[in-house]
Amino acid sequence: MITTSNLSKKYNDNLVLSIDNLNIPKGQSFGLVGNNGAGKTTYFSLLLDLIQPTTGHIKNNDISVHESEAWKPFTSAFIDESFLIGYLTAEEYFYFIGELRGQNKADVDALVSQFEDFFHGEILGQKKFLRDLSKGNQKKAGIVAALIGNPEVIILDEPFANLDPTTQIRLKQIVKDLAHKRGVTVLISSHDLMHITDVCERIVVLEKGMIVKDLETSEATLKELETHFAGTEIN
């Protein structure tokens, strides 16, 4: 589904990302881990054509993302709060996104109603603007908005951060369902090794912009990751 070749990003001679080759097949739940500055958000930003690659390209469903916009209808993302429109209520925001993705009110209502559990009664019917919600609740709204319109690729940057434990557990279930039952390609980054090994079939470790590990998730993965990160910390 997503192929990355010879991709690099430099900011004034400072190489922040360099990926020679990375293939993410359709329906995979893909996890990206790495310390701060490893290039996780840079990779997602390149994937969403928010920044320009210095060399190489990413192809999303055979569409080179920085040359065509045709990937947009089947791709959605929640990177940070700047993906929310602060002066809308959660419902208004969902409907807006719905309209952009060709969904009518009823479609959006039907989708959103599946997540009432996830929202825990703190998102819908609040009569509050999104900018007035807490960080965690903003995140919930943003994540669900990224699910509107049956996207085939969903990109979530640090989805577990700022969420309360109950919501984290529910989110894990949602992500698993997306990949396994509906064949959606889900890309997630996280600092939480436990969560990401729980959710993702495959985990890639970035370090200073390079891929240093590419693991199929198994029983041993968590241990391996912990050793890896403990080791790099000491160095």
Would you give the end-to-end CA distance of the chain in angstroms?
36
Which part of the chain contacts other proteins (CB under 8 A), choosing from 25-33, 54-62, 88-96, 224-232? 88-96
The least CB distance from residue 31 to other proteins, in Å, is: 20
Rank residues 84 and 143 by Cβ distance to other proteins and give the closer one.
84
Which part of the chain contacts other proteins (CB under 8 A), choosing from 26-34, 127-135, 191-199, 214-222? 127-135
**Angle at the Cα of 101 from the Cα atoms of 45 and 175, rounded to 5 degrees:** 60
**H or E segment and range at residue 136:** helix 135-145
Which part of the chain contacts other proteins (CB under 8 A), choosing from 14-22, 46-54, 115-123, 157-165? 46-54
Q: Which residues are CB-contacts of 12 (< 8 A; sequence separation ≥ 6)?
A: none
Distance CA 176, CA 29 (A): 8
The least CB distance from residue 221 to other proteins, in Å, is: 30
Among 131, 180, 182, 223, binds other proteins (CB under 8 A): 131
- DSSP per residue, 100-111: HTT--HHHHHHH
Which residues, listed in sequence order, are joined to residue 123 by a DSSP beta bridge?
none
The least CB distance from residue 235 to other proteins, in Å, is: 32
| Number of helices followed by number of strands (H, E) in the chain | 8, 10
Residue 82 in contact with other proteins, rule: CB under 8 A? yes
Rank residues 28 and 60 by Cβ distance to other proteins and give the closer one.
60
175 CA to centre of own chain: 10
Among 29, 49, 178, 206, binds other proteins (CB under 8 A): 49
Three-state secondary-structure class, residue 151: coil
Residue 87 in contact with other proteins, rule: CB under 8 A? yes
Which part of the chain contacts other proteins (CB under 8 A), choosing from 13-21, 50-58, 185-193, 224-232? 50-58
CB burial of residue 219 (10 Å; 0-12, 13-18, 19+): exposed
Among 2, 7, 17, 97, binds other proteins (CB under 8 A): 97
Pairing of strands 55-60, 2-11: antiparallel
Among 1, 19, 33, 48, binds other proteins (CB under 8 A): 48
Instruction: Enumerate binding residues for other proteins (CB under 8 A).
Output: 48-52, 69, 72-73, 75-77, 79-80, 82-89, 91-92, 96-97, 99-102, 127-129, 131-132, 149
